[in-house]
Amino acid sequence: MDVIGEDSYILVYRDRRRRWLIRPRDTPKLHTHLGILDVSALVGKEYGVTATTTLGDELVVLKPTIEDMVMKLARRTQVIYPKDLGLIMVKLGVHAGSRVVETGTGSGATTALLAYLVQPTGMVYTYDLNPEFQEVAKKNIEKLGLSQFVTFRVGDSRLGFEESEMDAGVLDVGDPWEVIGRMRVSLKPSAPMAAITPTTNQAEKLVAKMKEEGFVGLETVELLLRHLEARVGMTRPSNFMVGHTAYLTFGRRTSAPSQQS
Amino acid sequence: MDVIGEDSYILVYRDRRRRWLIRPRDTPKLHTHLGILDVSALVGKEYGVTATTTLGDELVVLKPTIEDMVMKLARRTQVIYPKDLGLIMVKLGVHAGSRVVETGTGSGATTALLAYLVQPTGMVYTYDLNPEFQEVAKKNIEKLGLSQFVTFRVGDSRLGFEESEMDAGVLDVGDPWEVIGRMRVSLKPSAPMAAITPTTNQAEKLVAKMKEEGFVGLETVELLLRHLEARVGMTRPSNFMVGHTAYLTFGRRTSAPSQQS
Amino acid sequence: MDVIGEDSYILVYRDRRRRWLIRPRDTPKLHTHLGILDVSALVGKEYGVTATTTLGDELVVLKPTIEDMVMKLARRTQVIYPKDLGLIMVKLGVHAGSRVVETGTGSGATTALLAYLVQPTGMVYTYDLNPEFQEVAKKNIEKLGLSQFVTFRVGDSRLGFEESEMDAGVLDVGDPWEVIGRMRVSLKPSAPMAAITPTTNQAEKLVAKMKEEGFVGLETVELLLRHLEARVGMTRPSNFMVGHTAYLTFGRRTSAPSQQS
Amino acid sequence: MDVIGEDSYILVYRDRRRRWLIRPRDTPKLHTHLGILDVSALVGKEYGVTATTTLGDELVVLKPTIEDMVMKLARRTQVIYPKDLGLIMVKLGVHAGSRVVETGTGSGATTALLAYLVQPTGMVYTYDLNPEFQEVAKKNIEKLGLSQFVTFRVGDSRLGFEESEMDAGVLDVGDPWEVIGRMRVSLKPSAPMAAITPTTNQAEKLVAKMKEEGFVGLETVELLLRHLEARVGMTRPSNFMVGHTAYLTFGRRTSAPSQQS
């Protein structure tokens, strides 16, 4: 049985738009327009319970999933979506024990999901040029209790990665074609990698460079997610839809030498 | 360094359509229209190498990813896509140690990915009405070396699951509304679940039933994957596209009692 | 040369979001946050000119297209999109001389486009239960100068249409399956028709009924429109996208008798 | 009442994939795997009737719509879709009396729809570099009985158009940025135009050039059409879907001089 602690994250849930991700220690009373919720009183209870606000409104207290946590982090600086992360994780085969190299760290959202999946025996090596960004990401990863599965490195990945024989790589920088050659060297032969780029021009330049670097199995895709409003007798897709997040480019390193040198 | 063994699966790769997933012991010589490849000669070599056929054609020898393996299995009986599996895995938070209940087993494709992610300490409990299907799935899981992370159960999940306190659930049956009440009981309060249904009518009936059973955080989505042909100066989306795979319905169990009983 | 008159509609255009559809007689001075535009002074000038506001901002004065006019009407009561209207017009072959039956009139947006296309020798017969709606639509059609190509009828189209031998039909009501039998009788054998329905359930019921009524060439489609932000070196699809407008169902009447009677 | 003549086109229809567009004079007997149809015997009958083959199979005899005719033409050389044509027609406001300039003619599919819509008083001026292409298009337009609404011109539209004060323009060439300046001169100020380009790179270059040429209201869009299989209790989108046809770029000419000269 999972019991709520003083330092546990809880997701107080009313509906898709009204949800709060908090900790009892930080937020003993949650003030909402639906009334005040006595969060302290939830300590010792089981996740999944319903709690009542001072205005009589019922809220459900959920245990946050890794998606809840990651999306919370992501919202602060950049946009990364579960649909994209999910496909990346499956294509890269990230799981317990994987050793993954990532650049850049950004808010640490992707890093967090990678760390969650590689535990308890793997490691994520994540690079960012910006030391301040990494500090934010580091704190985020700490909150999730995943710090021991992440090695943070401040530095310019265009100059290379310290690691080699990596199982997988994730590229989330503005000029991935400048980094892919270095990433090649850090990956095991045959290892898969993924790059996240918003524009068609970036995908175009990256794919050309990946061919030069001997990558195979190249594909660039985009995912469109649409909600279906499933209601008896009046089912229809939602009006609102996100039109674009990013192009995802995948490839596999080979033993072939770079045609660059 | 990963070295190819007699019993290792290898992915012989030419391009997206010409790829062979084989083992040296089973297929010492690979006969293709590009010539014959001496597969036996690859034993002891590193993944990622290039090998030449008798007709002089160059093929890359890759280590199959879990996606390669799962898609190979999926092709036989049903259609399940990495894009859908990826989103399910992220939303369910499946990772090392997770205990997941699934019905039905089908070809074992979803089961295989779940098992891959829950290792080395988790378990997938998978139900199917059809003992012959489960035999096929069992063999597939064995080939992947994931048998110790899967408990197969032949039986009608409409009558209930043996397990309780599950971390997550996956519903892939034709009448998920008949099973969701039983799945509720087997899940931990607050645990997430996912259902895969091809039609809008199924999603509609399922969502109505999930509301009765006190699930929250309900959402039904579909993912459209489109390839981008990223080529210098002539980048465009691919003509070919899969128009539909399945609707994915997600929800979270609460402690609220079923309104059914 | 097209010259702006006192009663001409003009589209004052700054960008996609800042545009005003006005007439000099109604709006001699246009007050905007970009300054005041002396609209009277535009009378006698040619469309396409640039005019300067009191704050020095430059606005282009365009001649509204039928799309501009129709979208202006549509915004008031319901949502109908050029993408959907365009496909309907092509599939129905609406052109000069066509005789088209439509129900319901709604805001008159679809009616207006139909009338625009059937002029100078065709006619649109449009039905609506609600006399007040039709008054609004009538005024809208008058503003467009298309009144002589539209016959308005207040009445319940479930009870039948006065017209027969129609070249095409458009169904835009909540319960099209109640009307399709009557529409069949009003259409020429072989004539095409289109129905606009937001939900999958409506499309499902309608298609079943159309089969009973001997329609052939049945197809239900939806159109997703996505903007591409085409900018040198940084081209990408827009973030914002409308996820759903309506399902469009098309069919052709045959001489086969209804299986209903 | 529409009666079938010796020279009338008829669409013999079984289902979406089995349909034949023929004329009694050309094809007195239609041989199909469903049996032979006595087409001569249909002369004098009304469209919409059902006819029986020698094998007892029932086929419906429809009057082809302009869409049926255009799609028949389109199949020969290039791909143009009703969804795209429909949006273009609405955005350009093509109707009886419109004077439209088009380049290139291609198979004449777009030309045919334009001609169909501008009749009985408008004119389509269509340019193509290739005289042989234009011969094919000319014959196609003749078959449709629309020749008097089309002026064919063999020539390089990069060197300019003979016409001026055009109501609308359609650009369907590989290098539209080379032509747009000339098209600007041939359009009325304020007139709308549309360009059809398969790649993102083309759209990017075109839009940049259109800005230089003083066009406003610029937008580039793509339309995705998805079929819904609407069947009682088992409604779902179709598996098959066309992933991409073309990007459509729209703009409006202004009186502003080109920034080129």
- C59: part of which helix (H) or strand (E)? strand C58-62
Average pLDDT over residues D111-134: 96
Residues from chain A that touch B207, judged by Cβ atoms under 8 A, are: 230-231
As a whole number, the mean pLDDT across chain D is 94
Residue D189 has pLDDT above 60, yes or no: yes
Q: Is the ipTM of this complex over 0.85?
A: yes
Task: Give the integer Cα–Cα distance in Å for B160 and B163.
Answer: 9
Which residue is closest to A202 within chain C, CA to CA?
C234
Residue A9 has pLDDT above 70, yes or no: yes
Task: Please list the residues that pair with A31 across neighbouring strands.
Answer: A36
Task: Give the integer Cα–Cα distance in Å for B91 and B100.
Answer: 13
Residues from chain D that touch C254, judged by Cβ atoms under 8 A, are: 48-50, 60, 62
Straight-line distance from the first to the last Cα atom of chain C, in angstroms, rounded to the nearest whole number: 58
What percent of chain D has pLDDT above 90?
A: 90
Residue D149's SS3 state is helix
Q: Identify which of A11, A144, A19 has the alpha carbon closest to the alpha carbon of residue B191.
A: A11
Average pLDDT over residues A119-144: 94
As a whole number, the mean pLDDT across chain A is 94
Average pLDDT over residues B44-49: 94
Task: Give the integer Cα–Cα distance in Å for C161 and A222.
Answer: 48
Residue D178's SS3 state is helix
A236/C243 Cβ within 8 A: no
Give D220 to chain C, closest Cα distance, Å: 5
Give C158 to chain D, closest Cα distance, Å: 22
Residue B76 has pLDDT above 60, yes or no: no
pLDDT level of residue D261 (50, 70, 90 thresholds): very low
pLDDT level of residue A79 (50, 70, 90 thresholds): low
Which residue is closest to C205 within chain A, CA to CA?
A233
Residues from chain D that touch B239, judged by Cβ atoms under 8 A, are: 242-245
pLDDT level of residue B260 (50, 70, 90 thresholds): low
pLDDT level of residue B77 (50, 70, 90 thresholds): low
Nearest to B199 among D198, D235, D241 (CB): D235
Which residue type sits at B245? T
Q: What is the pLDDT of residue C74?
A: 65
Q: What is the pLDDT of residue C75?
A: 59
List pLDDT tens digits, range B181-228: 999 999 999 999 999 999 999 999 999 999 999 999 999 999 999 999
Give B41 to chain D, closest Cα distance, Å: 42
Q: What is the pLDDT of residue A261?
A: 47
Q: Identify which of A102, A226, A114, A97 has the alpha carbon closest to the alpha carbon of residue A157.
A: A102
Average pLDDT over residues D121-130: 97
Higher local confidence (pLDDT), D256 or B24: B24
What percent of chain D has pLDDT above 70?
A: 96
Q: Identify which of D94, D13, D66 has the alpha carbon closest to the alpha carbon of residue C91.
A: D66
A66/B90 Cβ within 8 A: yes
Task: Give the integer Cα–Cα distance in Å for B68 and B22.
Answer: 11
List pLDDT tens digits, range C132-189: 989 999 999 999 999 999 999 999 999 999 999 999 999 999 999 999 999 999 999 9
Which of A150-154, B108-112, C79-83, C189-193 is predicted least confidently?
A: C79-83
D242/B241 Cβ within 8 A: yes
Residue A12 has pLDDT above 90, yes or no: yes
Q: What is the pLDDT of residue A38?
A: 97
Residue A144's SS3 state is coil
Chain C neighbors (3+ CB pairs < 8 Å): A, D
Residue A223 tokens, joined: 């995912």
As a whole number, the mean pLDDT across chain B is 94
Q: What is the pLDDT of residue D72?
A: 81
Average pLDDT over residues D234-249: 96
Average pLDDT over residues C37-48: 96
Residues 6+ apart with CB under 8 A from A245: A79, A80, A81, A83, A84, A198, A222, A223, C239
Average pLDDT over residues C203-223: 97
Residue B261 has pLDDT above 90, yes or no: no
What SS3 string covers chain B? CCECCCCCCEEEECCCCCEEEECCCCCCEEEECCEEEECHHHCCCECCCEEECCCCCEEEEECCCHHHHHHHHHHHHCCCCHHHHHHHHHHHCCCCCCEEEEECCCCCHHHHHHHHHHCCCCEEEEEECCHHHHHHHHHHHHHCCCHHHEEEEECCHHHCCCCCCECEEEECCCCHHHCHHHHHHHECCCCEEEEEECCHHHHHHHHHHHHHCCCEEEEEEEEEEEEEECCCCCCEECCEEECCCCEEEEEECCCCCCCCC
What percent of chain A has pLDDT above 90?
A: 90
Nearest to A244 among C201, C222, C237 (CB): C237
Task: Give the integer Cα–Cα distance in Å for A162 and A140.
Answer: 24
- Which of B190, B231, B232 is most worth mutating to test chain A (most A CB atoms within 10 A of its CB)? B190
Average pLDDT over residues D22-45: 96
Residues 6+ apart with CB under 8 A from C57: C14, C34, C35
Q: What is the pLDDT of residue A162?
A: 97
Average pLDDT over residues B138-143: 94
Residues from chain B that touch A205, judged by Cβ atoms under 8 A, are: 232
Residues from chain D that touch C97, judged by Cβ atoms under 8 A, are: 120
Residue C261 has pLDDT above 50, yes or no: no
DSSP per-residue codes, C177-245:
GGTHHHHHHHBPTT-EEEEEESSHHHHHHHHHHHHHTT-EEEEEEEEEEEEEE--TT--EE-SEEE---
Which of A66-70, B74-78, D227-231 is predicted least confidently?
A: B74-78
Task: Please list the residues that pair with A221 across neighbouring strands.
Answer: A248, B227
Instruction: Tell me how far CA of residue D157 lies from CA of B248, D74, D89, D198, D260, in angstroms.
Output: 51, 22, 22, 20, 18
Residue C158 tokens, joined: 């479930």
Chain A neighbors (3+ CB pairs < 8 Å): B, C
Residue C76 has pLDDT above 90, yes or no: no
Give B231 to chain A, closest Cα distance, Å: 6
Q: What is the pLDDT of residue D257?
A: 75
**Would you give the DSSP letter of residue C63?**
P
Nearest to B239 among D233, D234, D244 (CB): D244
Average pLDDT over residues B78-95: 92
Residue D46 tokens, joined: 């009304």
Give D197 to chain C, closest Cα distance, Å: 12
A48/B217 Cβ within 8 A: no
Average pLDDT over residues A8-16: 93
Which of A217-221, C254-258, D154-158 is predicted least confidently?
A: C254-258
Task: Give the integer Cα–Cα distance in Å for C167 and C181.
Answer: 16
Residues from chain D that touch B236, judged by Cβ atoms under 8 A, are: 198-200, 244
A243/C236 Cβ within 8 A: no
